Amino acid sequence: MLGAVRTCLRCAAVDDTDDPAWALDREGGENRWLCPDCARAHARDIEARLPPEWWS
Ligand SMILES: [Zn+2]
């Protein structure tokens, strides 16, 4: 993932610094990223593996 630009799934924040605080949620073979703020706010939801429809 080095050099990759990732976008937060929820708030559309962009990161290209490889900040380890970003959370990766693998869903259906697709990598979904959450910025640190969103990851913290929704940590329980991520752990519950809610379906993608929930995020919209
Ligand atoms: Zn976010």
Domain range annotation of the chain? 6-55
The conformation of residue 8, written as its DSSP 8-state character, comes to B
> What pLDDT score was predicted for residue 18?
87
Query: pLDDT (tens digit, 9 = 90+) per residue, 30-50?
Result: 888 999 999 888 777 756 766
Q: How far is the CA of 1 from the centre of ligand 1 (A)?
A: 18
Cβ-contact 25, 46 below 8 angstroms? yes
Give the model's pLDDT for residue 8: 95
Query: Percentage of the chain with pLDDT > 90?
Result: 36
Mean pLDDT on 4-24: 91
- Please tell me the distance between residue 9's alpha carbon and the centre of ligand 1 in angstroms: 7
Distance between CA 54 and CA 56 in Å, rounded?
Answer: 6
Using the mean position of ligand 1's atoms as its centre, give its distance from the Cα of residue 48 in Å: 18
What is residue 55's predicted lDDT score, i.e. its pLDDT? 61
